Amino acid sequence: MKTRVKEISEELKLVISGKTVDAVLPPLLFAVVNSRYQLTVASIMAIALALLLAIIRLARKQPLRYAMGGLVGVMFASAIAYFSNNAANYYLPKIMSSAMFVLAALVSLIMGKPMAALTSHLTRGWDLEWYWRKDVKPAYQEVTIIWLLFFLMRLALQVILFRRGDVAELAWTNTLLGLPFTLAGLILSYLYGIWRLRNLKGPSVEEHREGKQQPWEGQTRGF
């Protein structure tokens, strides 16, 4: 059990960084400040926090891609909210992002190139040919379906709350459906994916690369 927990922890580090705080804190600050002060103050505070986080990363000589991505996102969202004079519009980019994920997952399934396989390839650099094997591909198709259902659920909730115009609910819902649900989804995807690959009885990445013949040990770690 301890070995499996350690394995999952190491796998999550490949795709989730502690630097996700850069994308989480500014929107929460926006919601809190907007509930007590004007929209302009909330926008300025959120941008200032995102900028401060970027400066901290720079001072610590850490990669800026997370902080800069968060800063650009906050500035864009704040601009939409400010110029439309509607605080709820701050979360429009997140709703659009969810819609794009739904579309991408759906298109990838229709085209027979499941998003989970493409994401794994980009993260790990494994041979694409391995993912498209008949004794491997079904695992990634099924995980992509799980992702699609999650994205659809998140999009539906975001749209419902957006129509209500409740900024506080939007903030907390986007936060909870962000990092916490992403972590839960990744753990579920990993455990199911490894189990499914084992049942499909295909070769591991290394066995495929080396052209080994059956019987195969199969993929025992990494998805």
Give the pLDDT mean for 7-29: 62
For the segment 141-180, what is each residue's pLDDT rounded down to a tens digit? 999 999 999 889 889 988 888 888 777 777 777 777 776 6
CA distances from 40 to 25, 87, 127, 134, 204 (A): 18, 9, 49, 55, 55
**What are the tokens at 90?**
């701050």
pLDDT value at position 29? 77
Give the pLDDT mean for 190-202: 90
CA distances from 188 to 134, 137, 149, 221 (A): 22, 18, 13, 14
- The C-alpha angle with vertex 183 and arms to 178 and 189, in degrees rounded to 5, equals 120
CA dihedral 171, 173, 178, 183 (to 10 degrees): 140
Only one residue has tokens 């959120």, namely: 46
CA dihedral 142, 191, 171, 173 (to 10 degrees): 70
Give the pLDDT mean for 107-119: 94
Percent of the chain whose pLDDT exceeds 70: 83
Q: What rounded mean pLDDT belongs to the chain?
A: 81
Only one residue has tokens 């709820």, namely: 88
For residue 45, pLDDT beyond 50: yes
Peptide bond into 215 cis (omega under 30): yes
pLDDT value at position 18? 47
Only one residue has tokens 């650009």, namely: 72
Nearest residue to 127 (alpha-carbon basis) of 193, 204, 186, 194: 204
For residue 30, pLDDT beyond 80: no
For residue 20, pLDDT beyond 60: no
The more confident residue out of 73 and 125 is: 125
For residue 203, pLDDT beyond 70: yes
For the segment 58-99, what is each residue's pLDDT rounded down to a tens digit? 777 766 666 676 677 778 888 888 787 778 888 888 888 889
For residue 189, pLDDT beyond 70: yes
Dist CA 1 CA 206 (whole Å): 25
Helices (H), the chain: 2-12, 21-36, 39-59, 65-84, 92-110, 115-124, 128-131, 137-164, 167-176, 179-200, 205-209
Give the pLDDT band (50/70/90) at residue 3: low
